[in-house]
Amino acid sequence: MHTPLATVPIELGDRSYPIQIGAGLLGDAATYRDLPSGRWGVIVTNQTVAPLYAERLVQALSARYARVLTVALPDGEVHKDWDTLNLIFDRLLEEGCDRKTVLFALGGGVIGDMTGFAAACYMRGVPFVQVPTTLLAQVDSSVGGKTAINHPRGKNMIGAFYQPLLVVADLDTLDTLPERELSAGLAEVIKYGPIADPEFLDWIEANLPALRARDKAALTHAVRRSCEIKAWVVGQDERESGLRAILNFGHTFGHAIEAGLGYGEWLHGEAVGCGMVMAAALSARLGLVPPAFVERLSRIVDAAGLPVAGPRQLSAAQYLDLMRVDKKSEAGEIRFVVIEALGRAGMRAAPDDVVAEVIEAHTAR
């Protein structure tokens, strides 16, 4: 199939770009026909994804680039660091790649974040394309231009806002995605309901079985609607000064879980799934939403195959310490994304003891 099932335009002035969503796009040379040509096209991927898709992408890109290189990084969030990023720079410099080199991020969110940051920094900026091969990356990192690596003291602490030229969301790549990662991606899909679109939450609730069975029509709608909502939010606040923070619903608690257990123990989407239940519970505890909403969201998160209770190893005090160094905190005050009404989110501070109660109530003991 040669035409995308859907295209979501991301409008950011001279940094605008399209997201193409469909099956069979990755290996089709026509997908890349509007990209600038150059001498080098460099595919950055990981050792898990490379055997599955790298050769197909190399073939498709060979029409536009005299040299197509592949850099396969070790797989996993634990490698989202400077040393691994430097493997990209080393290769680009060894090959003499110039400023017109186009980088292609072939993989999940870690590959997208690292390749985007490498593109932002290499010779002070070269163009890049996202080819996300996980549901999480297709619905989340494909919009927003956030790129980063981790620091031992915090996730995504070193990075840049840097937009791709094009995003290619090939739904066929989801066929090889492990079940656990598909569920992790669904966490970010679910997120868009409570913060922006009650009808979408109804649709997700009804279509979770089809999504988990990887039905292409259901996936197309989920990816398109997620990207549209994120694009609408990001279009109003590209550099995360205000509104955009609502996209972090569930992420403040989630990041604490990821950091507290050590990155890679829980998948990002798993931590966000559980984090959304905690954030919903905090919203209810602050009198913003009825307790029934917490129960409903918890059921949906559970039905997506995600954890709804935090890990027993982490105490509420540990969460609070970890959340205080989160990028979203200001002068040590933690700012939580709360649901103010179904379909509308906002930012609030909350007393430590209330937050601790919420964490305790949603932790496996």
Specify the length of the chain in residues: 365
Nearer to a second copy, 141 or 363 (CB): 141
> Does residue 255 sit in helix, strand or coil?
helix
CB 304, CB 183: distance < 8 Å = yes
Q: Should residue 62 be labelled a site residue for a second copy when binding is judged by CB under 8 A?
A: no
* Closest-CA residue to 12 (of 240, 232, 243): 232
Catalytic annotation present for 328: no
76 annotated to a ligand binding site:
yes
Which residue number, 153 or 312, has a Cβ lying nearer to a second copy? 153
Strand partners, 69: 42
Q: Is 327 a catalytic residue?
A: no
Interface with a second copy, residue 198, by CB under 8 A: no
Give residue 181's identity as a one-letter amino acid code: E
Which residue among 225, 255, 285, 362 is the active-site one? 255
- Residue 161 interacts with a second copy (CB under 8 A): yes or no: yes
CA distances from 332 to 276, 326, 329, 342, 350 (A): 22, 9, 6, 29, 12
> Does 204 count as an annotated binding residue?
no
Known active-site residue 188: yes
Residue 79 annotated as lining a ligand binding site: yes
State the DSSP H helix or E strand holding residue 151, giving kind and residue range, or none if neither. strand 146-151
Would you say 78 or 342 has its CB closer to a second copy?
Answer: 78
Residue 125 in contact with a second copy, rule: CB under 8 A: yes
Q: Is 365 in the site for a second copy (CB under 8 A)?
A: no
- Which residues in the 286-325 window bind a second copy by CB under 8 A? 324-325
Residue 81, marked binder: no
Q: Is 133 annotated as a binding residue?
A: yes
Catalytic-labelled residue, pool 268, 270, 285, 362: 268
If the CB atoms of residues 99 and 180 are measured against a second copy, the closer one turns out to be 99
CA 178/CA 195 separation, integer angstroms: 27
C-alpha to C-alpha distance for 115 and 46, rounded to whole angstroms: 11
Residue 60 makes contact with a second copy by CB under 8 A:
no
Closest CA to 122 of 143, 101, 142: 101
Cα dihedral 230, 231, 236, 240, rounded to 10, equals: 50
Residue pair 201/193 in contact (Cβ under 8 Å)? The answer is yes
Q: Give the x-and-dash track for 166-185 against a second copy (CB under 8 A).
A: --------------------
- Backbone phi, psi, residue 133, to 5°: -115, 10
SS (HEC) of 158-217: EEEECCCCEEEEEHHHHHHCCHHHHHHHHHHHHHHHHHHCHHHHHHHHHHHHHHHCCCHH
- Which residue of the set 251, 258, 270, 285 is catalytic? 251
Catalytic residue among 33, 124, 153, 312: 124
239 counts as binding a second copy under rule CB under 8 A: yes
Choice between 243 and 361, CB closer to a second copy: 243
Closest to 294 (Cα-Cα) out of 312, 282, 307: 282
Instruction: Specify the DSSP element, H or E, that contains 154.
Output: strand 154-161
Q: Is 124 in the site for a second copy (CB under 8 A)?
A: yes
Q: Which is nearer to a second copy, 148 or 284 (CB)?
A: 148
From residue 81 to residue 120, the character string flagging contacts with a second copy as x (rule: CB under 8 A) and all else as - is -x---x--xx--xx-x-xxx-------------------x
Active site residues: 124, 146, 188, 230, 240, 244, 248, 251, 255, 268
Q: What residue numbers does the annotated binding site for NAD(+) cover?
A: 75-80, 109-113, 133-134, 146, 155, 173-176
Q: Tell me which residues touch a second copy (CB under 8 A).
A: 39, 82, 86, 89-90, 93-94, 96, 98-100, 120-125, 146-148, 151, 153-154, 156-161, 239-240, 324-325, 327, 329-332
The annotated binding site is made up of 75-80, 109-113, 133-134, 146, 155, 173-176, 188, 251, 268
